[in-house]
Structure 1
């Protein structure tokens, strides 16, 4: 105990009292060396003689019984605030004043029950009548892709803004984060079309000024040139551009391309959305672009770098697990 660096200071002091007593030192001498009173020395010597090492440990201290049940605080939290307060949700201080208790007590109750009134999220249920079939189809492609075929997740990220700052960025320094002006200049927008090969992570992409069916059809032709003569399974959402007559006719004339639509309000099933999140965080959101041409060049540079360090995208949830959570 005396040599350990992890032993609490109080326990070290008690162990030292016992060790000095074992060396034959008088109680008054021990009290001076340890820096405590003689009655304290007598107390810990007697407890050691009676209970051994366990006698040096602190006895349990239950403290004053709790007079306010945390469940009552949480129950009040789950009720909407009275109209007289004019607020949408409780704060710890507002609820504490309403209940006549301390706001620290409210905070402890919230921590114990995992209640977070200051947070809010969104949700949306899919109303697609073919929800089960589409989820099963798309997830089946991810978990067991057809042999000798390539699964591509296809979509477009539209309205990417070429934003320029009104002053140069201040670079990151030790103990100082990167900083930029709060205001910016708009230089236009671009649209990124992308097809993600989930088995390898390879991305085929194109940047175009608009996202009409003409641009989408042009991108499909680019995919066809990238994977000549190969069987392709394309996962897409229900955007009207993807179902235009000209697009359907072209796909019908290319039987090597099989389209799999995600459910309505279920574009999160499309893995290319994950990749769009990556490029947004790593190249777009904090980027500075002096023109649309500059924006397009930096997007292409990111894609080239990504394809050099690409990795597969692995889906883990089964269709049954997804459908179980998707039901309202």
Structure 2
């Protein structure tokens, strides 16, 4: 996520006028928002990192797997897309050697929308970062953290269903 400081202030919507967001902005840097979602409890575990990769992903896994009930669970399934930090057999081996009760499940290529964390990310996109008008990364991080706290306090599990088209 980028911190974009708009050159002119965003105007709130008014009577018969949509919100106005200036298209010119200054760049304030970027950060990666990594998150895990417990589908049974509707709990989000998120973290902001300077970049993506194996180390940030494993930090997220450690953040989750060292807390209850995941640390003592018989099995914990991690459903992930095919990003390079958690793709392939090496990722499976790395995860299970660190946390033996984990099972890494990859979504099909171009099917990450089947992963429920993507629903949460779409909520974040609509309610937190749009319009993207942040002077610096500290404000982006603080807004993400405060939204995550509010979300965890009020969220209910998604009633998500997929019905394939008739053949």
Q: TM-score range by the shorter chain?
A: 0.7 to 0.9
DSSP-derived class of the 1:192 partner? strand
Q: Could you list the runs of 4 or more consecutive aligned residues of structure 1 that deviate by over 3 angstroms after TM superposition?
A: 243-247
Partner in structure 1 of residue 143 of structure 2? 298
**TM-score normalized by the length of structure 1:** 0.46
Q: Unpaired runs of 5+ in structure 2?
A: none
Task: After TM superposition, give the deviation of residue 177 of structure 1 in Å.
Answer: 2.7
Q: Is the 8 A contact 1:171 1:177 kept in 2?
A: yes
Shift of 1:247: 6.3
Q: Which has the higher helix share?
A: 1
For 2:95 and 2:77, the matched residues in 1 are separated by 15
TM-superposed CA distance for 1:246, in Å, is: 6.5
Deviation string 1:5-27 (CA, Å, 9 cap, x unpaired) is: xxxxxxxxxxxxxxxxxxxxxxx
Deviation at 1:198, TM superposition (A): 1.5
Equivalenced residue count is 163
For the 8 Å contact 1:165–1:184, the answer to whether it is kept is yes
The equivalent position to 2:62 in structure 1, one of 221, 237, 261, is: 221
Matches of 1:242 and 1:219, distance apart in 2: 12
**Could you tell me how far apart the structure 1 residues matched to 2:106 and 2:53 are?**
18
Unaligned runs of 5+ in 1: 1-159
How do 1:111-190 and structure 2 match up within 5 A?
160-190=1-31
Whether 2:79 is the aligned partner of 1:235: answer yes
Task: Work out which of the two has the higher radius of gyration on C-alpha atoms and give 1 or 2.
Answer: 1
Contact 1:200 1:313 in 2 (8 A): no
Secondary structure of the equivalent of 2:34? Answer: strand
Structure 1 residue corresponding to 2:44, chosen from 203, 209, 212? 203
TM-score w.r.t. the length of structure 2 is: 0.87
Structure 1 position 308, deviation (Å)? 1.7
